[in-house]
């Protein structure tokens, strides 16, 4: 049953990531082409500023998901209702602070970009973008908590995928029709909001046993304050680059950052498919206190994930600049051809995703309090290095801050998981990382000496992409088979099992 749920979540997440990646490539190009780099940079910048408002949730979402694993596993509906009641109360109160923060951003942000954007446009854009996020926070935050805790994230993924596809079609049509950018963004927000009612309806229909009004159990989510620490640190690390670039380098620089980040975010999301639903699955195993099953499942998961990570980022490293050369060929208001930025994004992507297996287990175990100081240190490293270097090196300085913080936290997360959760040797993970790093270098070697990827358009790039993807996949699979045949066979059987139950 657990494997079937993981399979459903994985497939649904793959659909979502493919739709998101496709729209993520199409829409920014249209925005830049029709409204300019400043507008594209402003929209991306506002989304990052508004992202900070989710902090008013106080970490209750992450803490509630962990707290729900056990009562859902034993089908204790009364305990689940009490937990959800407490969660709803926290989110309702937090939504008022969210609204206040949104008004503050709408009032102050226009003055930050007043030399590059009209005050009224940036003011209204903040309200339009933030309005959708506020409604999600107030209406369905607790429903999302329930679905993810019950390993039904695939429901949310499919709804989001449908909304993303509809948004891409309507947004592209409005842009090509010459509509004002505020009309375009308002339509996108309305589509975003519509999916919230679909999620609400699904929960009402499929969880009638949870519709009561039990006494809220606040004690079960006391861990929320430690979860909040992680949330603050995570948002600083993820959102601060755009914020720092907005303040020190301007909206055109933000647009350049967003274009590269778009590519690597898509790659990260596709790699993340292999983690979809795993946190809830591990939470269920941990709740059952089966240490051997936990170790074996985590071992397979890490092995498969590192192989997928190696394949994805090796392909990306080889194909990123040929893609940018084609994608940004008609963007003339600023320089988008930056191999230095591409290299740093590649390092960041690998460093960040290497810790995904260990982070999944840390959060599934509810080890928020035990690791909060590490999260704070990661955020401090990121901000200190970024703010120190951005004035001299611009985007490159900000990215170096991310490299330093991710390098520290990834190594620390892998060590913590081995030491405090699985009880396995740290060298199991280290050996896999080294093996896959060598395989990536071997796969890239021919392109450094004998082959050169040259494309005149997207068609040529797609052809090269297909060939590179197959070649690198063969190298990664063959290398992992040679170095650990027993684990390869076990992992292959698990993949077939997941595929058969999907």
DSSP string, 245-257: HHHHT-HHHHHHH
Shortest CA distance to 303 belongs to which of 477, 47, 129, 59?
477
DSSP string, 402-455: HHHHHHHHHHHHHHHHIIIII---HHHHHHHHHHHHHHHHHHHHHHHHT-----
Q: Which residues of the chain have pLDDT under 70?
A: 1-7, 55-59, 212-213, 220-231, 274-281, 283-284, 286-289, 495-502
Q: HSE (CB half, 13 Å, CA atoms) of 435? A: 19
Asked if 131 contacts 71 with a C-beta cutoff of 8 angstroms, the reply is no
Q: Which two structure tokens, joined as six digits, stand for 33?
A: 């082409």
Per-residue pLDDT tens over the stretch 221-231: 666 566 666 66
Shortest CA distance to 9 belongs to which of 314, 266, 282?
282
Buried b (16+ CB within 10 A) or exposed e, 393-416: ebbebbbbbbbbbbbbbbbbbbeb
Q: HSE (CB half, 13 Å, CA atoms) of 90? A: 30
Asked if 23 contacts 237 with a C-beta cutoff of 8 angstroms, the reply is no
Q: Residue 98's pLDDT is what?
A: 83
Q: Residue 39's pLDDT is what?
A: 92
- Dist. CA 200–CA 222, nearest whole Å: 26
Q: Which two structure tokens, joined as six digits, stand for 150?
A: 């019950």
- Dist. CA 235–CA 53, nearest whole Å: 10
Q: To the nearest 10°, the Cα dihedral for 33, 39, 45, 51? A: -90
Shortest CA distance to 61 belongs to which of 236, 237, 231, 216?
231
Q: Residue 451's pLDDT is what?
A: 82
Q: Residue 316's pLDDT is what?
A: 96
Instruction: Tell me the chain's radius of gyration from C-alpha atoms.
Output: 23
pTM, rounded to two decimals: 0.81
Q: Residue 277's pLDDT is what?
A: 54
- Dist. CA 60–CA 86, nearest whole Å: 9
Q: Residue 224's pLDDT is what?
A: 59
| DSSP secondary structure letter of residue 210 | G
Q: 3-state class of 166 per DSSP?
A: helix
Q: What angle (nearest 5°) sits at the alpha carbon of residue 348, between those of residues 157 and 423?
A: 75
- Dist. CA 130–CA 101, nearest whole Å: 10
Token match 């780099």: residue?
Answer: 37
Shortest CA distance to 107 belongs to which of 125, 93, 94?
125
Token match 């079960």: residue?
Answer: 220
Domain boundaries, the chain: 1-218, 223-502
Per-residue pLDDT tens over the stretch 270-289: 787 766 556 556 766 766 66
């Amino acid at each position: 049953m657990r494997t079937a749920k993981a399979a459903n979540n994985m497939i649904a997440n793959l659909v979502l990531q493919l739709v998101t990646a496709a729209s993520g490539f199409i829409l920014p190009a249209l925005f830049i082409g029709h409204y300019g780099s400043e507008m594209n940079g402003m929209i991306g910048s506002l989304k990052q500023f508004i992202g900070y408002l989710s902090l008013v949730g106080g970490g209750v979402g992450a803490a509630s998901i962990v707290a729900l694993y056990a009562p859902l596993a034993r089908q204790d509906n009364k305990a689940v209702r009490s937990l959800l009641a407490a969660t709803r109360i926290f989110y309702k109160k937090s939504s008022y602070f969210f609204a206040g923060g949104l008004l503050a951003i709408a009032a102050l942000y226009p003055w930050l970009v007043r030399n590059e954007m009209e005050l009224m446009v940036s003011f209204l854009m903040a309200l339009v973008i933030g309005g959708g996020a506020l409604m999600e926070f107030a209406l369905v935050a607790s429903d999302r908590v329930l679905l993810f805790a019950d390993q039904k994230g695939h429901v949310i993924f499919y709804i989001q995928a449908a909304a993303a596809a509809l948004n891409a079609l309507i947004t592209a049509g409005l842009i090509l029709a010459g509509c004002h950018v505020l009309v375009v963004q308002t339509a996108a927000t309305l589509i975003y909001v519509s999916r919230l009612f679909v999620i609400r309806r699904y929960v009402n229909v499929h969880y009638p046993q949870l519709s009561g009004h039990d006494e809220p159990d606040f004690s079960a989510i006391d861990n929320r304050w430690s979860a909040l620490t992680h949330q603050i640190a995570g948002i600083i690390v993820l959102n601060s680059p755009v914020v720092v670039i907005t303040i020190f380098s301007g909206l055109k620089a933000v647009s350049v950052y967003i274009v590269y980040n778009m590519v690597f975010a898509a790659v990260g999301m596709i790699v993340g498919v292999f983690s979809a639903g795993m946190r809830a699955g591990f939470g269920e195993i941990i709740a059952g206190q089966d240490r051997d099953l936990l170790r074996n499942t985590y071992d397979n998961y890490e092995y498969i994930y590192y192989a997928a990570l190696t394949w994805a980022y090796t392909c990306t490293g080889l194909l990123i600049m040929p893609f940018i050369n084609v994608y940004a060929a008609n963007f003339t208001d600023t320089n988008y051809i930056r191999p230095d930025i591409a290299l740093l994004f590649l390092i960041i992507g690998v460093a960040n995703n290497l810790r995904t297996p260990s982070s999944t287990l840390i959060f599934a175990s509810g080890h928020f309090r035990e690791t909060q100081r590490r999260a704070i240190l990661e955020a401090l490293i990121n901000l200190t290095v970024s703010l120190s270097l951005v004035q001299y090196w611009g985007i490159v300085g900000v990215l170096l801050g991310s490299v330093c913080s991710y390098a520290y936290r990834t190594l620390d997360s892998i060590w913590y998981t081995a030491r405090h959760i699985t009880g396995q040797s740290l060298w199991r993970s280290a050996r896999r990382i080294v093996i896959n790093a060598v395989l990536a270098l071997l796969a890239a070697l021919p392109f450094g000496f004998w082959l050169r990827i040259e494309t005149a358009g997207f068609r040529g790039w797609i052809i090269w992409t297909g060939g590179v993807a197959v070649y690198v996949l063969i190298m990664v699979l063959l290398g992992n088979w040679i170095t650990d045949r027993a684990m390869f066979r076990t992992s292959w059987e698990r993949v077939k099992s997941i595929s058969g139950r999907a």
